[in-house]
């Protein structure tokens, strides 16, 4: 039976999103006959499972039982045990414990990493024999069609992923793909979002549209014209706008990364060949694979089952604000390297894959490594322009600018180091994927923190739970 991984990484309370994810898993199992590994990678309480983890566990246990859905709720401690074993098994002969620890740190860094949390899902999926990974976010929800039925993205994902493009064309509304790519398998299926912008900087636009234009344009290459930068600002972070779903539309094509979002994406094959950048505290660092798939000429499907995005209140607190603004600034600094890499990927397109259509990981690693030698003067200018722009806004933006002053040199170094570490991870990725199935048993071990609370256990006399819960254990 075809096995897939439907995954949601989270570091915040998100019980409603988990319930909805469970419904999507059941839909996939019922309509496509697949076995779904529902993976919740839960860092909400850090290394030790705490009250948020417990709430999530209760929510997942309350999902209706489905024989073809296996729920795996993994806190950071359980993730670490698995990843440590995989790192040790994948380490080259002669490696030291320090080498293994360094590799583990790329998979489970001490600080937040959008790429690393998805890489963990890739490895766990490989361990469990899943042929595709379907990723969702905790700060989003599904739309409904005019008849009130939930429209799950997994519908388009499972209809096309892994099939030759020529066959997948039967399940889409239209095809815009070169004939010479028709026999390549569909590697990516994705949609976008509606609702709030994907990057939470809308307050800047309300305070001063000119400052908003200034800072958002900083993610473009510095040598772009003013017109190109303005066009980028207009479409940045807006997704599919505000228009709700009415009817299905899908296109077989080379998917444009600007048209999809990582809350609404699925990969087949490619995620086992090249990972995502493990950069820390950097939004947007998990989009690299979208660019690579497009430039390598790997077919994809773009659909309009867009997910509704919203922002959690934590980002609006003083602490949350400062943390998020740092991630935005680090995103701007990462673009020195990523813009260069995207240009190189576009130039090298055909040589990025072998005769079988597999990505050449070594070629990608070489490009990433060479990018670390780029002149950093552009990034110094980015920091200076962010500083000036935020001081024009005043208030907590000016305070944030003050906090960046003593960190400028360190931030420049971190942005470059992130790329060096990415190249290193790419080099080890094949061995990690190969080693993962041998460590799958660690994912089946019971977690004491996930044992049902007494109130969640089925009544010993067989009476139904008054709240409709099933007592289903995680994993």
Q: pLDDT tens for residues 303-350?
A: 999 999 987 776 667 788 999 999 999 999 999 999 999 999 999 998
**Other CB atoms within 10 Å distance of the CB of residue 185:** 19
Mean pLDDT score, 186-209: 93
pTM of the entire predicted model: 0.92
Q: Does residue 122 contact residue 272 with C-beta atoms inside 8 Å?
A: yes
Q: What is the pLDDT of residue 320?
A: 85
Checking if the pLDDT of 473 tops 90, the result is no
For residue 47, the model assigns a pLDDT of 65
| pLDDT of amino acid 388 | 98
**pLDDT tens column, 237-271:** 999 988 999 999 999 999 999 999 999 999 999 99
For β-strands 265-268 and 132-135, DSSP reports them as antiparallel
Partners of 151 in the beta sheet? 143
* pLDDT given for residue 207 in this prediction: 96
pLDDT in tens, 11-40: 999 999 999 999 999 999 999 999 999 999
- Confidence label for 149 from pLDDT (cuts 50, 70 and 90): very high
- pLDDT digit string (tens) for 436-472? 999 999 998 655 444 444 344 333 233 222 222 222 2
Which has the closest alpha carbon to 338: 264, 422, 253, 225? 422
Could you tell me which residues are beta bridge partners of residue 36?
4, 69
Radius of gyration of the chain (CA): 22
pLDDT value for 45 = 75
Dump pLDDT digits (tens) for 211-243: 999 999 999 999 999 999 999 999 999 999 889
Locate the domains of the chain by residue range: 3-456
192, two tokens:
């976008």
How many degrees, rounded to 5, is the angle at CA 348 between CA 347 and CA 350? 120
Hey, is 392 helix, strand or coil? Answer: helix
Query: Can you read off the two tokens belonging to residue 144?
Result: 């409904």
pLDDT at 200: 84
């Amino acid at each position: 039976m075809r096995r897939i991984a439907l995954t949601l990484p989270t570091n915040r309370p998100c019980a409603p999103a988990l319930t909805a994810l469970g419904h999507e898993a059941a839909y996939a199992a019922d309509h496509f006959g697949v076995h779904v590994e529902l993976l919740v990678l839960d860092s909400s309480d850090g290394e030790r499972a705490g009250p948020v983890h417990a709430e999530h566990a209760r929510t997942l246990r309350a999902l209706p039982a489905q024989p073809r859905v296996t729920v795996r709720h993994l806190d950071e401690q359980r993730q670490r045990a698995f990843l440590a074993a995989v790192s040790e098994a994948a380490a080259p002969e002669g490696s030291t414990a320090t080498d293994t620890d360094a590799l583990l740190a790329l998979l489970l860094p001490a600080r937040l990493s959008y790429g690393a949390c998805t890489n963990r899902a890739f490895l766990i999926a490989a361990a469990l024999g899943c042929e595709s990974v379907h990723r969702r976010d905790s700060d989003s929800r599904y739309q409904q069609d005019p008849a009130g039925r939930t429209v799950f993205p997994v519908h388009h994902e499972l209809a096309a992923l892994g099939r030759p493009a020529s066959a997948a064309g039967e399940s889409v509304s239209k095809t815009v793909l070169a004939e010479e790519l028709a026999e390549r398998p569909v590697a990516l299926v994705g949609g976008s979002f509606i609702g709030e912008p994907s990057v939470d900087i809308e307050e800047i636009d309300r305070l001063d549209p000119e400052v908003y234009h200034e800072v958002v344009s900083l993610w473009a290459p510095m040598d772009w014209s003013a017109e190109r930068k303005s066009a980028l600002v207009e479409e940045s972070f807006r997704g599919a706008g505000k228009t709700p779903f009415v009817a299905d539309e899908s296109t077989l094509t080379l998917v444009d990364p600007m048209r999809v979002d990582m809350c609404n994406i699925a990969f087949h094959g490619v995620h086992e060949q090249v990972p995502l950048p493990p950069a820390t505290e950097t939004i947007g660092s998990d989009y690299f694979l979208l660019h690579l798939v497009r430039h390598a000429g790997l077919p994809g499907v773009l659909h309009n089952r867009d997910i509704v995005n919203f922002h959690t209140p934590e980002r609006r607190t003083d602490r949350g604000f400062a943390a998020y603004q740092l991630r935005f600034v680090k995103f701007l600094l990462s673009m020195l390297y990523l813009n260069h890499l995207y240009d190189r990927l576009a130039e090298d397109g055909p040589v990025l894959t072998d005769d079988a259509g597999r990505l050449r990981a070594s070629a990608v690693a070489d490009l990433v490594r060479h990018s670390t030698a780029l002149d950093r003067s552009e990034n110094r200018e980015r920091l200076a322009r962010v500083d000036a722009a935020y001081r024009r806004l005043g208030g907590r933006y000016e305070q944030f600018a003050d906090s960046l002053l003593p960190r400028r040199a360190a931030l420049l170094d971190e942005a470059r180091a992130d790329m060096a570490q990415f190249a290193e991870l790419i080099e080890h990725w094949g061995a990690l994927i190969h080693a993962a199935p041998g460590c799958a048993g660690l994912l089946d071990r019971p977690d004491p923190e996930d044992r049902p609370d007494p109130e969640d256990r089925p009544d010993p006399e067989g009476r139904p739970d008054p709240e409709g819960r099933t007592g289903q254990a995680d994993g």
